[in-house]
Amino acid sequence: MELLDFSDELLKREPQELDFEKDNAKEFCDKLFKRMKELGGVGLSANQVGFDKKVFVFGDGKELTRYIINPTIIAIGDETVSMKEGCLSLPGVFLMVRRPTEVTLRYYDTDGNEVVEQFLDLAARVVLHEYDHMIGQNFTQRVSKLKLDRAIKAMKKKVTKKVRSDVRKQLEANNV
């Protein structure tokens, strides 16, 4: 389960629904959640790691863990808030994204049972971020080109600074 390149075509289209007859939903979601934690994320969509499945997972593994299969948004609240977001598929880029603070989702659990659940605040943000992956979109499409260009420039500057620092440390360690 390796992260796909951000430009991969799988991330630009709506994935296929998970087929409960063919796929072991629990095993697949457990593996996806484990990979999310290994990557240091709070959410991960199946298509981000090369699986053409309409599935995402999120949570901390303690107080909140959700396996979301074949989701549909059925309601979105009116209140919105801007917050910094990042994405495992585009490391180092962080953007201020305005999103609703409330979303109600219809999805299936790993046993194939339909669930309707309302998510608030940070959970709503994560759900909406991951849901974007379910419709072939990503968080960079939620901001202006100018904001995106600035974020990419800032990320490149940080990388350059880190590389210079690492080279300097190696030179010093070798008394050069």
The residues annotated as belonging to the active site are 130
CA separation for the pair 127, 92 (Å, rounded)? 21
In whole angstroms, what separates CA 153 from the centre of its chain? 21
DSSP state of 143: S
123: burial class by Cβ within 10 Å (0-12, 13-18, 19+)? Answer: buried
SS3 content of the chain, % helix, strand, coil (to 5): 40, 25, 35
